[in-house]
Amino acid sequence: MAGVLIVLKFLMNLIFLVSASTCTERQVEATGIKGQATIIFCDSDLDNESSTFTWTKDNRTLEPSPQITMQGQILWLLNTTSSDGGLYVCRSSNSTFSTEIRVILSVEAGPCRSFSEIDLKQEKDNIKFSCSEERVPVLGETLEVQWWKDCKSTGIRGSELNLFNVSMSSKGNYTCMVIFRYEDKNYTASLTYQLEVMKKEIVINPQVLEPRDKTLYVKPGMSIKLECNLLIGIGEDCQQETSVYWMINHSYAMMPRYPDLQQNLTTEMRENSWLYGRSTLFIPEILPEFFGIPFQCVILNPNGNDIGQVWLSQDDYMTHIWLIIAVLPILAVIVGAVLLNFFKIDLILAYRHLCGKDKNIHEGNQYNAFVLYLHGKRPGSSTVEDFALRILPSMLEQQHNLKLFIHGRDTDTEAASIASISDVLSQSKAVMLILPGSTEDETLIPLSQDQNRLEDSQLSVLFSDISDSGVPLLLVESGENADYSLLPESIQSSIKKGRVLKWKPTVQPDGRFWKQLRYHMT
């Protein structure tokens, strides 16, 4: 019965309206459920206080009976049967007007009705279904309200049913069975709601991807195209409810004040139907007032809004040029100095090579260097000897055509005596002293009675000759912690810092060591 009332109200849109001067006729359809109470509502314009309502069914006037109760605008069929189906006419009248409402009732087997009010919800929404007396008017006393889903009892009682956080499985037909007691009998009225649940769409807030807050350096008078990359949303449709526009100093850019500006939006669909856009603002001429005010790209739709900002700043390019003019030479000088220092020796050697100066012993010098190697205090250190007698000649004499006077080698072959050493010195461009390291391998087999080993007295004569000759000294340390104590004070004091070289067996033939050596003796 209650359902009929609801359906009746619900179908008012479909009402077939016939109007006459004193008589209005409407026709609606209604459904009753076999075995349940059916309520037929006479939805008349006339107020029920001063009007009378009469019901007829198939041209027979209805009288109250144990099965039929009439109260004003409402007709109850308390225990509906199949034969209750048919045309019901409600005539309402006051002294001047009379209205007719026609209701065509069909009876279903039940217990749940096939037609119901549809509620559309999105996932995660909440919904409340009500079967209060306003929706399902009852006679007598309401005993209980049961809720059924898809025509199966859920065990839930109460005039309202609340569903929170609905999901796809919440879909279905919810029926309330209102059981009321009237004149010592139990009757049932029902109402069904159909719940449809839609998948909640992922909501994407519109976004300005780029620029967020950018400064462009421009010159007044030039033209510029400001660009703004956007994420609009999902699907083609989202563009229709989206606005994209530019603002200048917080006012709409397309104002009459700037008639030449042009705005344009292009869109592109990418993966997962995400819609991206690019909005451009074409400024044919940058006016002086455009500097220092914000240009904003705005995107707006029901899901939200976002703003990206661009500032124009005067491109002070003369300052840049001056800066470049001032800084570049300084940089060049610094870089040049560093490079020159690093490659100085290579450059000089190359120069000398070009001029042929490295081959000829110039200015009357016969030797590039007078070489004197010293033995350690411990006997048997052969590293110095190996360097002086084998490595040095093979590198400098054979590969670079330098001429060396190696003490201990050439003193024997040329039968030079200590006395002639000063002549040799005077013809040498440099004196090369080779010092042994003090951590020489002690396990070396001692060379007993080394014939080349100089007596201390001979050494001191040699050193004084070297000091007297004034030939520049070159010191080569042939090992870690070179033993300076082998040198007399006078020699030690005349050694210059830049003329001390360290030799290691790992030195490459084209290494810096050899270049420096050649540099100092050519």
**What are φ and ψ of residue 158, in 5° steps?**
125, 155
**In whole angstroms, what separates CA 68 from the centre of its chain?**
73
Comparing every residue's Cβ against ligand NAG, the nearest one is 72
Q: Which of 95/508 has CB closer to ligand NAG?
A: 95
Rounded to whole angstroms, the Cα distance separating 474 from 464 reads 16
Shortest separation between residue 331's beta carbon and ligand NAG, angstroms? 40
- Report the candidate in 487, 467, 465 with the shortest Cα–Cα distance to residue 421: 465
Rounded to whole angstroms, the Cα distance separating 495 from 476 reads 11
Rounded to whole angstroms, the Cα distance separating 475 from 486 reads 12
Shortest separation between residue 281's beta carbon and ligand NAG, angstroms? 11
Shortest separation between residue 184's beta carbon and ligand NAG, angstroms? 7
Q: Which of 288/498 has CB closer to ligand NAG?
A: 288
Q: Which of 309/516 has CB closer to ligand NAG?
A: 309
Q: Which of 74/491 has CB closer to ligand NAG?
A: 74
Shortest separation between residue 204's beta carbon and ligand NAG, angstroms? 20
Q: Which of 59/493 has CB closer to ligand NAG?
A: 59
Q: Which of 92/478 has CB closer to ligand NAG?
A: 92
191 close to 136: Cβ distance less than 8 angstroms: yes
Shortest separation between residue 266's beta carbon and ligand NAG, angstroms? 5
Shortest separation between residue 19's beta carbon and ligand NAG, angstroms? 13
Contact set with ligand NAG (CB under 6 A): 35, 45-46, 48-50, 58-59, 72, 79, 81, 94-97, 114, 116, 124, 143, 150, 165, 167, 172-173, 185-187, 194, 249-250, 262, 264, 266, 289, 293
Q: Return the structure tokens found at 358.
A: 């490295």
The DSSP secondary-structure symbol of 94 reads -
Write the single-letter amino acid at 353. Answer: H
- Show Cβ contacts of residue 12 under 8 Å, excluding neighbours closer than 6 positions: 28, 43
Q: Which of 6/476 has CB closer to ligand NAG?
A: 6
Write the single-letter amino acid at 168. Answer: M
Task: Report, in this order, helix, strand and coil percent for the chain, each rounded to 5.
Answer: 25, 40, 35
* 101 sits in which H/E element: strand 98-108
Rounded to whole angstroms, the Cα distance separating 48 from 193 reads 30
C-alpha distances in Å from residue 106, one per residue of 34, 103, 151, 424: 10, 10, 20, 140
Q: Which of 148/463 has CB closer to ligand NAG?
A: 148
Q: Return the structure tokens found at 62.
A: 């209805």
Shortest separation between residue 48's beta carbon and ligand NAG, angstroms? 3
Q: Which of 38/116 has CB closer to ligand NAG?
A: 116
Q: Which of 139/487 has CB closer to ligand NAG?
A: 139
Radius of gyration of the chain (CA): 57
Q: Which of 120/350 has CB closer to ligand NAG?
A: 120
Shortest separation between residue 35's beta carbon and ligand NAG, angstroms? 6
Q: Which of 116/296 has CB closer to ligand NAG?
A: 116
Report CA dihedral (477, 480, 481, 486) to the nearest 10 degrees. -40
DSSP codes, 140-197: SEEEEEEEEETTEEEEEESSEEEE-S--GGG-EEEEEEEEEEETTEEEEEEEEEEEEE
Shortest separation between residue 124's beta carbon and ligand NAG, angstroms? 6
Burial status of residue 378 (CB atoms within 10 A of its CB: 0-12, 13-18, 19 or more): middle
Shortest separation between residue 132's beta carbon and ligand NAG, angstroms? 15
The DSSP secondary-structure symbol of 129 reads E
Rounded to whole angstroms, the Cα distance separating 164 from 160 reads 13
Rounded to whole angstroms, the Cα distance separating 43 from 100 reads 10
Write the single-letter amino acid at 260. Answer: D
Shortest separation between residue 324's beta carbon and ligand NAG, angstroms? 32
Shortest separation between residue 79's beta carbon and ligand NAG, angstroms? 4
